[in-house]
Structure 1
Amino acid sequence: MINSYAPINNFLRDSSFFYTISIGLDSRYSFVSKNYDRNFAMGEKTLKGKHFSVTLHPEDIKICEETGPKCFEAPGQLFPVTLRKHDGKGGFVVTQWEMQAMLNAEGIPEGIFCIGYNITEFMEAKERLNHAEIQLDEISFIQSHGVRKPLANILGIADIIAHEEDQTEILKLTQMLERSARELDLIIKAITTKATN
């Protein structure tokens, strides 16, 4: 019921972390918390009465249009969505929401209640972590495959040199050892470059 959200809205009205909004059947904001206005009104006094789409990335409007009917099909159920909102600087922040149908005392739909928060830093950290994991996989592959050959050559040649007495053979083996060492050095430089990108 619509009145059952009043205590939640009052409780979160001054929250610095959470946004609470209600959207009427006319697709306009019927309630907007201070934090939501503070972050997304973009110079307007309040978003109350405005169409819900004014804060959204154009591609994310469809997510809300698809989720709203689901809320009315299953009242009492929370529907999670991730939405991009204008940041007021020409970019977007990423927000996580849970949406639920608001019904009146007779069970007739009156709108959608939404509670959300900013997850931009989390998403950026997740992206950095994914990038780091890809780099580590690539470095691991280079280490296990690229390093193995020249290192095995160096160890094998060093063992042969230790038992070789012919100076001509030792000179040839030393040149082979130097080539393998250079190859290993290039691979290590490639790993270092990849690790710093």
Structure 2
Amino acid sequence: MDSFEETKKLLDNSVLFYIITASMDGTYSYINGHYAKQFSHINNNLVGQPCYITMHPDDINTCVEVSVKCFENPDKLFPATIRKHDGKGGYVYTQWEYKAMFDDQKNPTGVFCVGYNITKYVAEELELQIAHDQIEKNTDTIEKIVFQQSHLIRAPLSNIIGLTSILDTTLLDSNTKNICDMILESSNQLDEVIRSIINIARKT
């Protein structure tokens, strides 16, 4: 218990970390100043109040399950991500580590928890995932473009170039031959444009 008391004193005025202890009946037995300030919109004095009043309902079971693990493994710390009411109709994300507390007779007295706000990190992770999904979507689109340009467009274009070349070698009047030459030149130019698009798409 002495180590817990020392930690509580050390971090009682922390501006980064939350320190709380919960008694065996699931009520707050201690909260540090930072936690009290951040969640004063729920209750001005959380000590003695049920711990669940600050939590997202779906995270209450997580809290219970992690607490049980603490008493099953008293020498270990166990992590938990808990959403807390932000006072604006939403939630902040908090990351915690739990450890079981015992008295001098080895009787369980509650759970010691140290945590901090990870809302910004969660938001950045969400933005990163959205960006990743968009990249995958764009990559799929680019691959489809490359396939269409390479197979669906260049194949008939190559046929046009080949047929025009054959026509150009036959006996044609000068006007028709001139038209064939222009078709061949335009086809070759279009083929170069398509090749360029494919190369750019593959490098993207």
TM-score normalized by structure 2? Answer: 0.76
Rounded to whole Å, the distance in 1 between the matches of 2:140 and 2:185 is 28
Residue of structure 1 equivalent to 2:116: 117
Q: Does 1:150 align with 2:130?
A: no
Within 5 Å, which residues of 2 pair with 1:158-169? 160=161, 164=165, 165=168, 166=177, 167-168=179-180
Rounded to whole Å, the distance in 1 between the matches of 2:6 and 2:161 is 82
Deviations for 1:129-162, whole angstroms, at most 9, x for unmatched residues?
111111111211221232343267469949949x
Residue of structure 1 equivalent to 2:171: none
* CA displacement at 1:68 relative to structure 2: 1.4
CA contact (8 A) 2:157 2:187 kept: no
Rounded to whole Å, the distance in 2 between the matches of 1:101 and 1:173 is 81
CA contact (8 A) 2:79 2:97 kept: yes
CA contact (8 A) 1:14 1:34 kept: yes
Rounded to whole Å, the distance in 2 between the matches of 1:15 and 1:52 is 20
Q: How many residue pairs end up in the alignment?
A: 180
Residue of structure 2 equivalent to 1:11: 10
Residue of structure 2 equivalent to 1:61: 60
Within 5 Å, which residues of 2 pair with 1:1-197? 2-42=1-41, 44-150=43-149, 153=153, 157=157, 160=161, 164=165, 165=168, 166=177, 167-168=179-180, 170-171=182-183, 174=186, 177=190
Q: Which residue identity does 1:66 align to in structure 2?
A: E
Rounded to whole Å, the distance in 1 between the matches of 2:155 and 2:4 is 73
CA contact (8 A) 2:42 2:54 kept: no
CA contact (8 A) 1:94 1:120 kept: yes
Secondary structure of the 1:124 match is: helix
Residue of structure 1 equivalent to 2:172: none
Cα 1:155–1:121 change in 2 (3 A) is farther
TM-score normalized by structure 1? Answer: 0.79
Q: Which runs of 5+ in 2 are unaligned?
A: 169-176
Q: Which residue identity does 2:11 align to in structure 1?
A: L
Secondary structure of the 2:138 match is: helix
Q: Which residue identity does 2:96 align to in structure 1?
A: W
The root-mean-square deviation of aligned C-alpha atoms, in Å, is 3.1
CA contact (8 A) 1:20 1:115 kept: yes
Moved more, 62-71 or 41-50: 41-50
Rounded to whole Å, the distance in 2 between the matches of 1:175 and 1:32 is 77
Rounded to whole Å, the distance in 1 between the matches of 2:182 and 2:154 is 14
Q: Which residue identity does 1:130 align to in structure 2?
A: Q
Rounded to whole Å, the distance in 1 between the matches of 2:107 and 2:181 is 94
Secondary structure of the 1:147 match is: helix
* CA displacement at 1:40 relative to structure 2: 1.3
CA contact (8 A) 2:161 2:184 kept: no
Rounded to whole Å, the distance in 1 between the matches of 2:38 and 2:185 is 70
